[in-house]
Amino acid sequence: MGDPKKHRKKYNTPMHPWQKARIDEERVIRKQFGTRNKKEIWKMSSKLRRFQDLAKKAISGKTKQAEIEMNQLIEKVKKYGLISETEGIDAILDLQLPDIMKRRLQSIVIKKGLANTMLQARQFIVHEHIMIGNKTVNAPSYLVSLDKEGSVNFVNGSPLSDPEHPEREKTKKEEKADQKILEAVKEARKEKKPEKKEEKVKEKKKKKEKVEKKAEEKKEVKVEKKVEEKKETKAEEKPEAKEAVKAEAA
């Protein structure tokens, strides 16, 4: 049988565990694309980073082999729909994490209208209700190429292939709930705008008041110093004047 193949990680974890900007970004992506954990995000991030590293090497290379590798990389990235047909290798360096997350099977199921939510799309895939071509795929993170995107559909014989299936139809309650959420979001945005303006005006007033107070304090300090200097000069002049009077009288 021989030695078993050593399993290696296919992704890189973050260099530092506590980075607020990265954690906030991952939280947004996890909600937007319905990932089970952050490992799925790191896998896509590592794949994107690999594409960009290969693009940098190809750009810096000046040999024929570098040109061949560059063309192969461009074809591969175009195959997944990450860049358009007219774009070149420079566009690969501008790619961001959401661009590759949109090519996952979970996102494509939503795009084609086979599921109503990301979590529902994940459930359909994991329960083997989705196929690509003639093959059933149960991996939500599977990257779908443009050629295979049209063949994403429900498995033959799946009860979910019926468009009137209760899991596929949105109930009136869900539609009303969605409308209420959208209205609440719109109202919150409208309320935030005047609040922000008022806050800015208040901040400006506070800054002006602070500046004026500091200026007044400086003036008061200067006046106090001048008064003290005058008192000191008068105190020094008095004994000198008395001595002069005594000298004249003598």
CA atoms within 13 A on the CB side of 218: 6
55 contacts 92 by C-beta, under 8 angstroms: yes
Q: How many residues does the chain have?
A: 250
CA dist., res. 181 & res. 36, Å (int): 24
The amino acid at 146: L
Cβ contact 39:9 at 8 Å: no
Within-domain flag for 214: no
In a domain, 230, yes or no: no
Q: Does residue 36 sit within a domain?
A: yes
- Encode burial over 225-238: b for 16+ CB neighbours within 10 A, e otherwise: eeeeeeeeeeeeee
Question: Based on the structure, what is the number of domains in the chain?
Answer: 1
**Does 163 map to a domain?**
no
Query: What SS3 state is found at 18?
Result: coil
Q: Does residue 98 lie within any of the structural domains?
A: yes
**Greater pLDDT, 250 or 68:** 68
The DSSP 8-state label assigned to residue 154 in this structure reads: E
Gap between the Cα atoms of 202 and 210, Å rounded: 12
Domain hosting residue 95, numbered range: 20-156
Is the pLDDT at 65 greater than 80, yes or no? yes
Q: What three-state secondary structure class fits 158?
A: coil
Q: Is 104 helix (H, G, I), strand (E, B) or coil?
A: strand
Q: Which two tokens mark 242? A: 């008395």
Highest mean pLDDT among 117-131, 200-214, 227-241: 117-131
Determine, yes or no, domain membership for 12: no
- Whether residue 11 lies inside any domain: the answer is no
Domain annotation covers residue 70 = yes
Token pair in block for residue 143: 């990257």
Give the pLDDT confidence score for residue 67 in this predicted structure.
Answer: 92
Residue 139 confidence (pLDDT): 95
Least confident of 129-143, 157-171, 188-202: 188-202
* Average confidence (pLDDT) over 195-223: 75
Q: Residue 33: is it exposed, middle or buried by C-beta count within 10 angstroms (0-12/13-18/19+)?
A: buried
